[in-house]
Amino acid sequence: MTVMEQRGAYRPSPPPAWQPRTDPAPLLPDAEPYRVLGTEAAGEADPGLLRRLYAELVRGRRYNAQATALTKQGRLAVYPSSTGQEACEVAAALVLQDRDWLFPSYRDTLAAVARGLDPVQALTLLRGDWHTGYDPREHRVAPLCTPLATQLPHAVGLAHAARLKGDDVVALAMVGDGGSSEGDFHEALNFAAVWQAPVVFLVQNNGFAISVPLAKQTAAPSLAHKAVGYGMPGRLVDGNDAAAVHEVLAAAVRHAREGGGPTLVEAITYRVEAHTNADDATRYRGDAEVETWRRHDPITLLEHELTTRGLLDDDGIQAARDAAETMAADLRERMNQDPALDPMDLFAHVYAEPTPQLREQQAQLRAELEAEGETP
């Protein structure tokens, strides 16, 4: 048979059937960030929860101010303030049950404190005294994580393992907009969706990764849209509206707990202070932008809602401020005491079985301390 004859015998058939594996429409975020305060939805919010959120926001703001002051007094090496982002911090802590796990980044000290961590212990790492500074298992708060996004695969691993063991545990992992450009972000979200792990990812989009604005690090319509590519729902929320953040995160936690898999929540917020006390934010952004966000302040928004609805009066506001002041005074006093540290602790928790080199260095340090009359 000639080639032409063979061609003549060929009958094109339609390609094998194809359809999307899941319907992408329900995974897409809404066009506008979800809001509660100042809308009709606020009338349905639990007044007790709103008052609790308010007290925690006021306490959180005071904590940020005190920690920043401690850096100026040389008592704290560095502090990444979350002023302006307190709604995300507090809501993330409050939506979790005791048995759940929080995976914070370095900026999320407040979330850890709102979850019950001792305010001084939460600053140990930033004081440069000791590694994590607290037992992560006590309050189920993973170490405050400085390498960007590395806490995300940890959260997925923990949540997946808990599910395999049949434990009713949800992990909530926090990350910044800059962290969403990391490979670990991709790997964590991909595996979380493939395994349907009970994880909630909270991206606090505060506008900047140090001096880099969001537009210079992603062309995505929103960070929440990234969820669709992994096959999980993406939700967009006003990150300064504590009631809205709480509602969206609570729904995501419930969904994860019920076996529905992970959710990516993008909270639109703003870092009104510099990246840390070591940064000069005036070099990369203008006062007008900061001022616009100061007028959309999480505490003012909630206070306005509560007072106009008769759920908070001057005495209530004063009580929240007094409680915050008491916490700040205690923090100040305890942070002004020199910590008692044992240099030999350098060798603790490094390896289960120390290497010969470490043993040698340990013996050398012990001898030096003894020679100086210090008992290790």
Q: Which residues bind ligand TPP (CB under 6 A)?
A: 107, 146-148, 176-179, 206, 208-210, 271, 275
Residue (217 or 307) nearer to ligand TPP, CB: 217
Q: Could you tell me the smallest distance in angstroms from the CB atom of residue 114 to ligand TPP?
A: 17
Tell me the residue number closest to ligand TPP, measured at CB: 176
Reference 243, options 294, 175, 176, 311; nearest CA is 311
Q: Could you tell me the smallest distance in angstroms from the CB atom of residue 141 to ligand TPP?
A: 17
Long-range contacts of 28-31 (CB under 8 A, 24+ apart): 28/225, 28/228, 28/234, 29/222, 29/224, 29/225, 29/227, 29/234, 29/235, 29/236, 29/266, 30/235, 30/236
Tell me the C-alpha distance between 123 and 339, whole Å.
12
| Residue pair 122/112 in contact by the 8 Å Cβ criterion | yes
Reference 234, options 184, 192, 269; nearest CA is 192
Tell me the C-alpha distance between 137 and 139, whole Å.
6
29, burial (CB in 10 Å: exposed 0-12, middle 13-18, buried 19+)? buried
Q: Which residues form the catalytic set?
A: 271, 275, 284
